[in-house]
Structure 1
Amino acid sequence: MGSLLSRSGPASSYANVLKRRASPSFESLEDDTSRKRLKEDVNDNAIDSGSNQNLLMTQHAFADDLAQELNCGCCSELCYHPVVVSPCQHFFCGSCCVLWIRNGGSNCPACRGISTSVTPSRPLEAVIDVLLRAYPAKIRAEGERIQADEVYKAGTPLRIPTPREASPEPNLNQNADFARPCPHCLPGNPYGWRCPQPIPDPVSDPDHAWHFDDGTPPGHLYCGNCENLLAIGAPTTTKCDMCQVSFCGVGVQGRCIASPLQSQHPHGISDVGDLIQMPELYECFGSNTVEVEYLLDYVTAQGLTPRHIYREIVTNLQSQPTGFKLLIELELFVDLHGVAPGVDPNPDAPRTKICRLCAAEILLWGLKDWWVRERQKGYLDESVSKRKDCPEGSECSKQKDLGWCFVFLRRAYI
């Protein structure tokens, strides 16, 4: 008997003969499985698409929450060049904090707690940078950033001045029609001296009371600080040689007095913190905040007080041939007080006594020239002291351009 191969065709034909079809039950199972797998694939794709959408929504929500947490406590916008107040750890835009201080702020803008320092926050700056790289739409407007950069130099520490104690309330004359006796008018007063022309008490002697419509009672003037009547010849009475206003010496201790030039305190300027919150300081330098920051850093580093600077300015004026004559001719001391001044008996007379308000005027008037002299002592870093003079001088139109002011020296504002 011959082999099977010898009776049939090619091998493929035998393959077709030997290959069995799947049973009907198996074919049905295969179709169901394929449809199931197809359905699972479709469902998986739908789940993946939904998951991506949910993830994207979650990321946007996270970015919104993070941006909300990084809002400045002053302007309620995303912080720009953030600074942190110690010890409370509240943070703000650097420019917002500067404006808070310039407007008289003496504590944390958020909690009103007394603060010791304000420092730039590199960690917060880094977090904000990462947020803006992922979501650039959250960046502050360009105009806002330009304005902020004009107010605050990034990376600069700030100082919040300590609150000043309130001045004692002046004992103002309560009677609107009649003058009351001054401290030296009454017999047996505790000051050991009595007015030769005492003012009658309107309560005990109404028939002889002095009516204000008749002017100032003879032998008396009004104190430039407490604005009460004073006896001109009393041992405690002093007169400022600058503004020609008299002071009683007994109303408010340390304030109702014209002191010798070198021993007076400039009114309202007891420490560097007081200088920081004075708009007049920036006006002295033509709003050149760069130069003001150099001045404040120098004064702080050297441990100088406003009173020390005032004394040096006075010493320099006294060494000049004209002394204080120029300041008087400029009417620097006119209308500083709420009372009428006396008459200057001799404009060329020596000036030995000064009140607190006039001392403050001298400090602010001479601060620029003092700073110029101080820079020449060589204590400043060369990057500051060797800046070139501005070719435009005091007429420079770029005095508020911080980039320009970093390059050029004092003649941009003097």
Structure 2
Amino acid sequence: MAESDFTPAPTPPIPVDPQASSSRSQQLTLKRSASASFNDVLDESVSRKRMKEEHKVPEQAGEAAVPADDSALAEQLAQELQCGCCSELVYRPVIVAPCQHFFCGSCCVLWIRNGGTNCPACRGSSTSVTPFRPLQSVLDVLLRAAPHKARTERERQQADELYAGTSMRLPTPREASPEPDINPSDFVRPCPNCILGNPYGWRCPVPIVDPNVDPDHAWLVEDGTPPGHALCGNCENLLALPAPSTTKCDFCQVSFCGIGVQGRCIAAPIISQHPHGFSDVGDLIQSSSVYECFNSNTVEVEIMLDYLTTQRITPRHIYREIVAHIQAQPRAFLPLMQLELFVDIHPLPAGTDPDPEAPRSKICRQCAAEVFLYGLRDWFLRERAKGFLEESVLARKDCADGAECSQQRDLEHAREFNHMIANAPPAQPNIDDAPAQEAARTPLPASDSPTPSLGLNTPDEAGTPVPVIYSGDLAANVPVLHETSDVPMQP
């Protein structure tokens, strides 16, 4: 058979399994889907990379997305990192154990100096204060991103003077004053010196009867204070007036027991007393009475506080110099007594001043604080005269109204002008010229003659100079010449 006549047999069709076909179709579909997804991922990655390059937002795997508005983030962080005392962005933070509250180091120093014995935020029992270095690192990052959030240079300088960056310990609580002698019954309880065998070495000559022992002879509350007794001006407990431990303030006329709280229930010699509430410069910063002494001129107060800090001057040192200055005056403390500065200082009834013009020797802590506030401004005037202040402070122009200026609360005006100007003392009249001054003050009857022109002496017809006397109110304003000198005297 020839080769050309050969025809290959047709290939029989291969049977197709429907399930296998379906499985294959799914595989093809999955492969196509996977390929498309992979391309989408690539496209998405490229888009995301392009977006990063355009916006220049660094992002690492596992990190949270950083908000585009950095100022909003800085503002939120600044609010979260506020000091619990001054409510400003914390500076040189410290942490209190064990409550873990944080504050400015300088704020915590002031808290301790003012008698704080626990956490300023939660008032919980605390033991130590240590620098909070991890938070300081966060603050450094925040201030690099937002420098405008930093505290002012003046605030940082003042804080650095208070806090040196070391650990501190909170002091143990001070001894609490004893509870007031409140009588739940109708009878007065005996004072410490009324008790037989008391540890104070002295007993009342007429002791108060203990109502628990002899209620029939006990002293009734409605009858007032028992004779020979009074209430302590500090702890408000009953005391014996003749007792050796009892002292009396010569200013407020209140007695103190000398038993309740050592160093506080006492009227001490004037020069050695502690003014109540003024232990250090921090107390002056927080006292509104100090600002009232300067007519609410905050600029002058800050100048004084800077001076005290630089010179390391304590309130007690100021108080002693004020007392020495007042005692050197001819009338000593009499002007203060006439101003009634020491009236109603204590809630207790005060005794009667036997001689208002008598010298004063004993003073209580509350009255010492009044003396301190009375002389603080004049003391700083005398200190300024020593020339230790900065040249920029001393070079300011004096305000025309001085201490009476009504614009002192305006910071711009207070920074530009000096208001620490000594008040001119009132002129003291000369006793020798009293008749002449009285004649000058006495108006003469009005006359029809014209008022002569202002002059000192007018010669008469003989050439002898005679004094000119003016009628009406004008005479009160004309200076009177001394007979033997040309020194004018104040009327």
Mark yes or no: TM-score above 0.5.
yes
d(CA) in 1 for partners of 2:217 and 2:81?
A: 63
Tell me the equivalent position of 1:157. 158
Question: Aligned pair 1:69/2:69, yes or no?
Answer: no
**CA contact under 8 A between 1:389 and 1:408: conserved in structure 2?**
yes
Distance 1:73 1:110 in 2: 14
Which residue does the alignment assign to 1:18? none
Q: Taking structure 1 as reference, are residues 80 and 74 closer, same or farther at Cα in structure 2, changes over 3 Å only?
A: closer
Query: Does the CA contact (< 8 Å) of 2:95 and 2:103 recur in 1?
Result: no
1:333 is aligned to 342
8 A Cα contact 1:170 1:251, kept in partner: yes
Which residues in structure 2 correspond to 1:247-258 (within 5 Å)? Answer: 247-258=256-267
- Could you tell me how far apart the structure 2 residues matched to 1:168 and 1:207 are? 34
Q: Distance in 1 between matches of 2:121 and 2:233?
A: 38
Secondary structure class of the residue paired with 2:271: helix
Higher helix proportion (structure 1 or 2):
1
Q: Is the alpha carbon distance of 1:75 and 1:193 closer, same or farther for their aligned partners in structure 2, counting shifts above 3 Å?
A: closer
- Given that 1:396 and 1:413 are in contact with CA atoms closer than 8 Å, whether structure 2 keeps it comes out as no
1:235 equivalenced with 2:230 (yes/no): no
For this pair of structures, how many residues does the alignment match? Answer: 353
Give yes or no for contact 1:230–1:248 (8 Å, CA) kept in 2. yes
Q: CA deviation at 1:90?
A: 6.1
Read off the aligned partner of 1:400 and give its amino acid letter.
Answer: R
- Distance 1:413-1:45 versus aligned 2 partners, 3 A rule: farther
Shift of 1:403: 3.2
Helix, strand or coil for the counterpart of 1:71? helix
Distance 1:217 1:82, change over 3 A: closer
SS in 2 for 1:221: strand
CA change 1:130–1:262 in 2 (3 A) is closer
Structure 2 contact 83–89 (Cα < 8 Å) conserved: no
Greater displacement, 249-258 / 306-315 = 249-258
Query: Does 2:400 correspond to 1:391?
Result: yes
Larger radius of gyration between Structure 1 and Structure 2: 2
The Cα of 1:181 is off from its aligned counterpart by: 1.1
The answer as to whether partners of 1:186 and 1:194 remain within 8 angstroms in 2 is yes
Change (3 A) 1:226 1:402: same
Q: In structure 1, what is the Cα distance between the partners aligned to 2:397 and 2:174?
A: 44
Matching of residues 6-405 of structure 1 within 5 Å: 50-51=51-52, 60-61=67-68, 63=70, 64-71=72-79, 73-74=81-82, 83-85=91-93, 131=145, 156-158=157-159, 159=162, 165-176=173-184, 177-405=186-414
% identical aligned pairs = 50
| Contact kept? 2:188, 2:219, Cα under 8 Å | yes
Q: Which moved more, 1:182-191 or 1:224-233?
A: 182-191
SS of 1:367's partner is helix
Alpha-carbon offset, residue 265 of structure 1: 1.1
Task: Give the residue type in structure 2 aligned to 1:260.
Answer: P
| Pair 1:405–1:155, CA change in 2 (3 A) | farther
TM-score, length basis structure 1: 0.70
TM-fit CA distance, 1:292: 2.0
- Give, in whole Å, the separation in 1 of the partners of 2:144 and 2:127: 31
Distance 1:360 1:335 in 2: 14
Please report how far the alpha carbon of residue 367 of structure 1 lies from its aligned counterpart in structure 2 after TM superposition.
0.8
Alpha-carbon distance change, 388 to 202 in structure 1, aligned in 2, over 3 angstroms: same
Which residue number corresponds to residue 477 of structure 2?
none
* In structure 1, distance between residues paired with 2:103 and 2:261: 40
Q: Which amino acid aligns with 1:361?
A: E
Name 1:22's counterpart in structure 2: none
Deviation of 1:351 after TM superposition, in Å, equals 0.4
Match of 1:409 among 418, 428, 435: 418
Contact 1:73 1:110 in 2 (8 A): no
- For residues 217 and 308 of structure 2, what CA distance do their matches in structure 1 show? 57
Whether the 8 Å contact between 2:82 and 2:90 is mirrored in structure 1 is no
* Distance apart, 1:130 and its partner CA: 7.1
Query: Residue 94 of structure 2 contacts residue 103 of structure 2 at CA under 8 Å; is this kept in 1?
Result: no
Q: How has the CA–CA distance of structure 1 residues 317 and 167 changed in structure 2, closer, same or farther, with 3 Å as cutoff? A: farther
Supply the distance in 2 between the matched residues of 1:91 and 1:413 (Cα, whole angstroms): 41
Q: Is the 8 A contact 1:241 1:351 kept in 2?
A: yes
Distance 1:125 1:105, change over 3 A: farther
**CA deviations over 1:171-197 (Å, ceiling 9, x no partner):** 421423211111221233222222122
Q: Which fold has the larger relative contact order, with Cα–Cα distance below 8 Å and residues 6 or more apart in sequence?
A: 1
Q: CA deviation at 1:365?
A: 1.6
Closer/same/farther in 2, CA of residues 201 and 288 from structure 1, 3 Å limit: same
